[in-house]
A and B are shown apart, each in its own frame.
Chain A
Amino acid sequence: MAPLVSISGLKVAFNGTPVLHGIDLDIDKGEAVGLVGESGSGKSVTWLAALGLLPAKAKVAGSATLDGRELIGADGKVLDQVRGRRIAMIFQDPASALNPVLTIRRQLCESLALHRGLRGEAARIEALRLLDLVGIPDANRRLSAYPHEFSGGQVQRIMIAIALAGQPHLLIADEPTTALDATIQAQILDLLAAVRREFNMAMVLISHDLGVVAENCDRVCVMYAGRIVERAPATRLFDDPWHPYAQGLIGALPPLDGARRRLQAIPGTVPDPRALPSGCAFAPRCSFAGDGCHAGVPLLAPIVQDRAVACLRPQRLPVELAAE
């Protein structure tokens, strides 16, 4: 089966500074893929670039196709047919992601008109249905309200409703719960899982929170400094991370059960994209790094059928041992 979206060799540079160094990533129909990594690792930029949403000063190279159609460098008209209709996106800070001077109704019906040709009463009824679906109580009355009249969690629900308005095949959820309280986070993630099932929609969940990704995704890609460093099924990655960075991320999580242990922090900080170390970008922070690691950038190499890692010395050690 051909993938729904296929990204290959995607590179992005801001003002001449490369921030994305060639991303290869396929998304199949209906699957949920997690992208994890620290801020600045290129998780969001990958998708903003694929959808042509980066500012003009960003130089984008490589390829991103949807059902075989190229998106990079595509005409604005082509992209307008893709954005919202085939691929929808929701963002981190819901409060600022909605237009403050337009009613919820206008912002919802705008998508319904653009992508499904619904207007007037038909659009209103569909808007009500969507708001009901995402769990906004008293939708009829609240349709004429403005974004600031809703709580953060409710605004994110509305964002999801707007994203669903175009009946997309892929939803990019860019840190959808980072700005929300822990209890609201869980509700939003449950909602995303529910609508994904109902619409048989693929989802890319961008998060720095490994736990969130583990629970909600089939596959996970770990990103570091503009590259994917490990790709694995979610459960496998957690039980058995190979890349030292992925091990570090998991080692920094508190265990849910078993003996309490000291949490391990990854030493050092994310390198500045203007001054990346030669070779593997993680090598200066890596306790397993050898001479070879500083010489060349390791490629994302498939190790077994569904796993790939970009490391010259992939570690297959239990987390506790690796942390010592």
Chain B
Amino acid sequence: MLRFFAIRIARALLTIALVVTFAFIVLRLSGDPGLMIMGPEAPPEVIEAFRKAWGLDHPIWVQYLDYFKAIGQGELGRSMRDGRPAIQLVLERIPATLALTIPAFLVKVLLGIPAGIYAALRRGSAIDRAVMITAVAGFTVPSFVLALLLVLIFAVQLGWLPSGGQDSWRHAILPIVTLGFGGAAVLARFTRSAMLEILGQPYIRTASAKGVPWRRVITDHALPNAAIPTVTILGFMVGSLIAGAVVVESVFSWPGVGRLLVVAVANRDLAVVQCILLLVAMTMVTSNLIVDFLYGLLDPRLRSKGAEA
């Protein structure tokens, strides 16, 4: 078991290193921060001085080594725009993002999972079809389209809710609904198919043949098995709590991490982008680890396999 997790953690660290490396290289190859931040009209010597000040005049592999050395010392760099530590900029934005993503996560779970289970139990019924049509619509419609649609209906036409900004809890409703609905749709479809597969298993028939009442066949026998594939999707959703709202934050001008990322990428504010990506990679990897751990908890077959490995 310990070795199982040691391997997982080593793999997780490798994933983070790869993400950070990729971001580092792409950012430096895709545009000159000096030009972006100082503006194209700035005199060449000013841009040169800027490059020197931020160490951009060194060869890329030297910059790369310096960057990793700095990370090792807990130094994530400073914003090239206002000189503040990048990590501080990012941390400031996290509460705003979580204020959207955590309620949206609850919407996904509380709406998507029961809808999926219900649809599976009433397979082929009108309710099942309604849930599935909504679910397909929910994840084929891109979130910015849904966001604009909601704005059109509830802000422009009905005037019930504001179309953007972050002044009160009412401003959070449309972004949360946009995020939550799409995720609930994915989760509903996934839960339904997991549940249908489990309901067709011989051990469900065995449970019925034992005289277990149908309701308890579902709760005691089917759900614990259907939870295993569903946890995968949930883990992915937890992993995207920090950076899963980039589009929605932009549409609703919500000052979260997602918007910061968009602005920082546009400006080639290297340290800020790298800091966000590092954070995103870390949350993704952490939630993956948690999922692995939950698999072991939920499925005894994996547990004994893990012990052998």
Which residues of A pack against B, CB within 8 Å?
48, 51, 53, 76-77, 79-85, 88-89, 91, 93, 96-102, 110-111, 114-115, 146, 148-149, 159, 162, 166
Contact = CB atoms under 8 A, between A and B. Distances in A.
B205 A115 contact: no
A208 B209 CA distance: 22
Contacts of B210: 83-84, 88, 110-111, 114, 162, 166
Contacts of A149: 304
A97 B220 CA distance: 15
A110 B203 CA distance: 14
A53 B205 CA distance: 7
B211 A81 contact: yes
Given A146-B301, A148-B300, A99 B211 contact: no
A86 B221 CA distance: 22
B211 A82 contact: yes
B221 A99 contact: yes
Determine which residue in A83, A93, A166 has the highest number of CB atoms from chain B within 10 A of its CB, and name it.
A83
Nearest to A76: B214
Nearest to A48: B205
Contacts of A76: 213-214
B202 A91 contact: yes
Contacts of B212: 80, 84, 110, 114
A96 B213 CA distance: 20
Contact of B298 (A51, A84, A101, A111): A101
Nearest to A47: B209
Interface in B209-243: 209-214, 220-221, 224-225, 228
B216 to A, nearest CB: 9
B208 interface: yes
B300 A97 contact: no
A97 B211 contact: no
14 contacts: A76-B214, A83-B209, A83-B210, A84-B211, A89-B209, A97-B203, A97-B205, A98-B206, A99-B224, A100-B299, A100-B301, A102-B220, A111-B211, A114-B212
B299 A101 contact: yes
Given A99-B225, A101-B225, 4 more contacts: A83-B208, A85-B211, A91-B205, A149-B304
Interface of B: 201-203, 205-214, 220-221, 224-225, 228, 298-301, 304
Contacts of A159: 206
B206 A166 contact: no
8 smallest CB-CB distances across A and B, nearest first, come from A84-B211, A83-B211, A146-B300, A84-B210, A89-B209, A99-B203, A96-B202, A97-B206
Contacts of B214: 76
Determine which residue in B205, B213, B221, B225 has the highest number of CB atoms from chain A within 10 A of its CB, and name it.
B205
A53 B202 contact: no
Contacts of B205: 48, 53, 91, 97
B300 A115 contact: no
B202 to A, nearest CB: 4
A99 B207 contact: yes
A111 B207 CA distance: 9
A115 B211 CA distance: 8
A162 B208 CA distance: 13
A162 B203 CA distance: 13
B206 A91 contact: yes
A274 to B, nearest CB: 21
B259 to A, nearest CB: 43
Determine which residue in B211, B221, B224, B299 has the highest number of CB atoms from chain A within 10 A of its CB, and name it.
B211
A93 B209 CA distance: 15
Determine which residue in B207, B209, B220, B228 has the highest number of CB atoms from chain A within 10 A of its CB, and name it.
B209
